[in-house]
Structure 1
């Protein structure tokens, strides 16, 4: 919503060298038209002002980076890998500003998902982009000297408790930071990576008004794993 993205942008302005924002598949004009962000802008402001606000947000979204590399070892992105992406340096050549195309490397980085039900690459059930197997992840990491890929974009049933999931023997990590997404009562989490490259997870459980957790303020202790998921 408007408040959430505005708050994140304020953090970026105030702490420019400590806050880095990556573009996701919803930071796109077509997606915001479908999933309600455009409607929110024009319903909460006079139509002309709401339209202008929406266009300004789209200009910002089109300038956002797609990926980040942490300490030369961790690749962060919203979606996943692409059959068009062989060398990690290719990501630097994606122009900005850019409108998300319906196919190609930029689209895949925002929309693809890991899935071991199919070998290699397969068309995604989302109707856009692809799925990729553990073998694809391992080969990409070895080729590009990457230890871990961190992504979001996806909430699967085995993530409801904990809010995160490892894939490809710990070479890829999916985290989900929205608790009770679509009323599914799922946990969410935030990933912290130490200077020794140990992954720590702070897990947030959804709080419901009147529940024992809400009354008692119960929290779950942070969980920790090494970089390879062990």
Structure 2
């Protein structure tokens, strides 16, 4: 068994790695991520996964169905120093390691994560949505992503925005970051960039996935029974080499295979 395999097995048992091991892994991850584009090219076949929100046991179930040689990570709104300080990761690192070093190693990686992916030049994948400051994929490619998520601007919008049926054009987001955007915005973006549809996450949908605007954008949510109380199913989207779609819907991992849920459920901000 390689050193990396041993570390994976250790993590599967929810045993913390040594601080020095975390540092080495984070540095290795940076070496890989720094080479990636803001719009990372991805070849099919591929499986698209949405939010996990720290539900580790469901993540283990989820990645049994992945293509093992095709993992591309893109940044979400929670890959942020500010958000992880508020919602538990900072505290968890401090509790388990007695210092904030591990939190710093991990959050430094966030700055290297790609902002989006483009599958076979036809499917645009982004965590949140679109931005009034972005019309083309080339504009995304010019963003300096190696920074904490800004409070506004194009990079912020890509990670925070949401599609909304009742909005015509652009609207204010109740999240306090990003925008709401309507069908005309999606139609224009898809036409300008010659893509078939947008695939994003960011919003809980009870059925696991949801199409909007005549199948021009789809939300994929991959955390079942979110917060162990929402009762939703989750989904992943599998694309074959010809981009034929198959959604796989699944329920939460069995209760006897998981630990106790967090004592403090996240607020509606997450939704």
The TM-score, its normalising length taken from structure 2, stands at 0.68
Q: Deviation per CA, 1:71-113, whole angstroms, max 9, x where unpaired?
A: 0101001000000001111111111412111000000000000
Q: Deviation per CA, 1:25-68, whole angstroms, max 9, x where unpaired?
A: 00000010111111111011112xxx110011111001100101
Among 176, 192, 210, the residue aligned to 2:221: 176
Give the aligned CA root-mean-square deviation in angstroms: 2.4
Q: Deviation per CA, 1:136-182, whole angstroms, max 9, x where unpaired?
A: 10111011101111100001xxx313x00001111101000001112
Q: Deviation per CA, 1:108-135, whole angstroms, max 9, x where unpaired?
A: 0000000021211000011111100011
Structure 2 residue runs without a partner (length 5+) = 1-10, 17-24, 33-66, 257-271
The answer as to whether partners of 2:74 and 2:114 remain within 8 angstroms in 1 is yes
| Aligned equivalents of 1:165, 1:36: Cα separation in 2 | 29
* Aligned pairs (5 A) from 1:127-206: 127-155=176-204, 159-161=205-207, 163-182=208-227, 183-206=229-252
Name the structure, 1 or 2, with higher relative contact order (CA <8 Å, separation 6+): 2
Structure 1: 4+ residue segments shifted above 3 A:
207-210
The answer as to whether partners of 2:202 and 2:221 remain within 8 angstroms in 1 is yes
* Mapped pair 1:119 → 2:165: no
Matched residue count: 197
Q: Deviation per CA, 1:6-36, whole angstroms, max 9, x where unpaired?
A: 9xx89x78x9962110010000000101111
| Aligned equivalents of 2:68, 2:102: Cα separation in 1 | 23
- Residue of structure 2 equivalent to 1:36: 88
The answer as to whether partners of 1:185 and 1:206 remain within 8 angstroms in 2 is no
* Mapped pair 1:97 → 2:146: yes
The TM-score, its normalising length taken from structure 1, stands at 0.80
Structure 1 residue runs without a partner (length 5+) = 211-230
